[in-house]
Amino acid sequence: MTTLENFYFGNINPSEYKQSKDTKKKLSEMARLLDELRSMLTTEQQKEKIEQIENSQLSLIALSEKDAFIEGFKLGVKMTTEIYADTQQRR
């Protein structure tokens, strides 16, 4: 099956990728720091606010990853188009 066929049939999910060791390390650090911060918060209102911040941050990360994927894909297509056009001109 080709890559396009796999993509069409849902066998490829661009939003799933293997995280690097550095990324995993930073995620663990961030989780630890958030846990520390939560333990310092005394009121339910403060705890709700930090949860709202986390949810907003997760949404922002998802949007940023989507934008980066789209821009990367566009760049790849542009590069491929240039290579193909150059190859055609040399014939």
Kindly report, residue by residue over 28-61, the tens digit of the pLDDT.
Answer: 999 999 999 999 999 999 999 999 999 999 999 9
Question: pLDDT confidence of 18, banded at 50, 70, 90?
Answer: confident
Provide the domain count of the chain. Answer: 1
Using the structure block, give the residue that is written with the tokens 């999910």.
13
pLDDT at 41: 94
Q: Does residue 42 belong to any structural domain of this protein?
A: yes
Q: Does residue 11 belong to any structural domain of this protein?
A: no
Q: Does residue 50 belong to any structural domain of this protein?
A: yes
Q: Does residue 2 belong to any structural domain of this protein?
A: no
Residue 67 sits in which domain range?
Answer: 21-90
Q: Does residue 8 belong to any structural domain of this protein?
A: no
Q: Does residue 1 belong to any structural domain of this protein?
A: no
Question: pLDDT confidence of 22, banded at 50, 70, 90?
Answer: very high
Give the burial class of 84: count Cβ atoms within 10 A of its Cβ; 0-12 exposed, 13-18 middle, 19 or more buried: exposed
pLDDT at 36: 95
Q: Does residue 6 belong to any structural domain of this protein?
A: no
Long-range contacts of 66-71 (CB under 8 A, 24+ apart): 66/15, 69/14, 69/15
